[in-house]
Amino acid sequence: MSPPNEAQQQAEQILTRLASKPFEQCFSIERHFKHLPTRPGIYAIRHRTEGLLYLGKTNNLSTRFSGGHKAFTWAWLDCYIPQEVRIAIEALDRWGNARLLSELEAILLRATEPPYNAKIPMES
């Protein structure tokens, strides 16, 4: 097995921070998501007891959710109580390398296989 590259190491650190953040410190579901930062980042939609439901990336965390999100619709259809679903974020200082951000997301998706992610990128 080859040693992890920089993207794999960064993805592991991000996943650790997203997963270890106490549920109460994650962002609650609201109509306009005014409290989310406008910075780029990786986010995880988590359920209080069932854990990770969805994982994604965006160049603006606030606007990504203000227009709606399919994971919330699926959570509603699965009869999750809205107060039991929250958003953990890993905000980034700047958008930077879009390819690197996509690579990080792909590594995280392969590692976690969240049930609400429709398609998990295959490793190239």
Write the pLDDT tens digit of every residue in 27-69.
998 888 888 988 888 999 999 999 999 999 988 888 888 878 8
* 55 and 107 Cβ atoms separated by less than 8 Å: no
6-112: CATH class: alpha beta
What is the predicted pLDDT for the residue at 74? 83
DSSP annotation of 26:
S
* 75 and 81 Cβ atoms separated by less than 8 Å: no
What is the reported pTM?
Answer: 0.84
Residue 95's pLDDT band (cuts 50, 70, 90): low
- At residue 93, the 3 state secondary structure works out as coil
What is the predicted pLDDT for the residue at 31? 81
DSSP element (H, E) containing 90: strand 85-91
pLDDT(102) > 70: yes
